[in-house]
Amino acid sequence: MSHVFHRSLQQTYPVAVSGEGVYVIDNQGKRYIDACGGAAVSCLGYDYAPLKTAINAQIDKLPFVHSSFFTTDILEQAAEALVNDTNGVMSHVYFVSGGSEAIEAAIKMARQYFVDTGKPSKRYFIARKQSYHGNTLGALSLGGNEARKAPYKDILIGANHISACYEYREKQPDESAEAYGLRAANELEAEILRLGAENVAAFVAETVVGATAGCLPPAPTYFKRIREICDQYDVLLILDEVMCGMGRTGTLHAYTQDGITPDIQAVAKGIAAGYQPLGAVFMKAFIVDAIRQGAGFFQHGHTYICHATAVAAGLATQRIIKSENLLDNVVKQGDYLSQRLHEQLADKPYVGEIRGRGLFKGIELVADKASKTPHDASLPIASRIRAVAMDNGLMCYPIAGTIDGVNGNHVLLAPAYIIQAHE
């Protein structure tokens, strides 16, 4: 009997004991190839020696010191490296322990920015239905996964939702991708006008949607129009790159492929390859300046912010990705994965669409291909695929959930950046 409060109380889990490259090995000696990075986390596989060495070195030196007393060399170096890699877009970075914490901090940062600049009525957040931003109450409020929200509906903070950019389902047959992108983005303007621009603090979106819609890259015009709207109405743009960021889509930050920059950006998962729990919030200089000149203090923090060992793992991960040119491999193997998925699956009657960027792919499953009718909610087919895959030594990430009243089934693939074609 397990005394661990596993999230599923109906399932028994294999016992993982070791890792080898992109494989996890259980206590029966069975090997599982990780095709999803767990949940798009394990970007360097499970036994990357230089990363383990860097973490151990930091533990030997100084594992942790509370951030209200000291800064550390490793923290300063990691922040400098990460900020430098934004090519002057961002000026500071705030380190937390994961994605939900990064989103909570981003929400509060946006709110404090407007309080500190004398616009306290700007308090509403607009997010998108097809989105997941984490499980803490603020982050959960922004997301659209109805099952995850259902038991907690009465205690959420409330957020306003527009549609995500979802070409497969929302683009009209006679509409170009460019025209659809503009139409989808203009929903934001309508929502800001409905709420009153003087009341809206920020728009929050995943650059490439992950865990609610099986990897949804935006249409080419979408984020350029979103950026214009945010600028016009003095609304901050917060991009959630917890899943799609830090190299997953083939560029370090996914937003660079859309020709825009956010005001605040949340990252986590791949930032430290899962070797330590780490998330981060990037911000532009004008936000930092406003808070410096306002309260002079960010009214939000956790015990483990700026954790030396976690930050050492983050810095080492980023150095490895650069020195090994792993983003080139993300692009190369991502193209190969797309090609193979199309060859093997595109004509199957239950495969609606295969899409994605870099090593971030989604397969949308449908009951009827011609009408794009999803499976009935009683048929969580993606979860069944996960179970069969595990039996066969393959980890893939199932997404079965209801968004905006529509049941969806998707399989997400997000292998490590080190994966090779034969794997």
Residues in contact with ligand PLP by CB under 6 A are 39, 98-100, 103, 132-134, 206, 210-211, 240, 242-243, 268
CB of 293 to ligand PLP, least distance (A): 30
Q: Work out the widest C-alpha separation in the chain, in whole angstroms.
A: 62
Min dist CB 2 to ligand PLP, Å, is: 22
Q: What is the DSSP letter of 173?
A: T
The answer to whether the CB of 330 falls within 8 A of the CB of 323 is no
Cβ proximity to ligand PLP, 271 vs 321, nearer residue: 271
Per the listing, tokens 């509906």 go with 153
Nearer to ligand PLP, 146 or 175 (CB): 146
Angle at CA of residue 206, ends 359 and 152, nearest 5°: 120
Contact 102, 111 (CB under 8 A): no
- Least distance in angstroms from the C-beta of 130 to ligand PLP: 11
β-pair type (264-267, 236-241): parallel
Q: Which is nearer to ligand PLP, 304 or 350 (CB)?
A: 304
Beta carbon nearer to ligand PLP, 244 or 312: 244
* 99 vs 415 by CB, closer to ligand PLP: 99
Angle between helices 308-323 and 326-345 (to 10 degrees): 80
Helix extents (H) in 265-325: 285-293, 308-323
- The smaller minimum CB distance to ligand PLP, of residues 147 and 346, is found at 147
Q: Which residues contact 23 (CB under 8 A, 6 or more apart)?
A: 31, 32, 33, 34, 45, 46
| Min CB(175)–ligand PLP separation in Å | 27
Residue number with CB closer to ligand PLP (100 or 317):
100
**Residue nearest ligand PLP, Cβ-based:** 99
For tokens 């794997």, the residue is: 423
- In the complex with ligand PLP, the residue whose CB is nearer, 115 or 243, is 243
Burial of 301 (0-12, 13-18, 19+ CB in 10 A): middle
- With a CB cutoff of 8 Å and minimum separation 6, the contacts of 218 are 165, 181, 207, 208, 258
Q: How far is the CB of 199 from ligand PLP (least distance, A)?
A: 25
Shortest CB 242 distance to ligand PLP, Å? 3
User: Which tokens sit at 320?
Assistant: 């490895």
Which amino acid belongs to residue 180? Answer: Y
CB of 96 to ligand PLP, least distance (A): 9
Please report how close the Cβ of residue 164 comes to ligand PLP at its closest, in angstroms.
Answer: 12
Number of CB atoms found within 10 A of residue 367's CB: 17
CA distances from 64 to 71, 74, 268, 272, 316 (A): 11, 11, 19, 16, 17
User: Closer to ligand PLP at the Cβ: 238 or 260?
Assistant: 238
Cα distance between the two ends of the chain: 35
Q: Which residues pair with 395 in a beta bridge?
A: 34
**Gap between the Cα atoms of 359 and 271, Å rounded:** 15
Q: Which is nearer to ligand PLP, 126 or 268 (CB)?
A: 268
- To ligand PLP, the closest distance from the beta carbon of 356 in angstroms equals 14
Q: How far is the CB of 396 from ligand PLP (least distance, A)?
A: 15
Supply the Cα-derived Rg of the chain in whole angstroms: 21
d(CA 159, CA 156): 9
CB burial of 145-157 (b: ≥16 within 10 Å; e: otherwise) equals bbebeeeeeeeee
Considering the complex, what minimum distance in angstroms separates the CB of residue 129 from ligand PLP? 14
CB atoms within 10 A of CB 259: 11
Identify which of residues 211 and 330 has a Cβ nearer to ligand PLP in the complex.
211
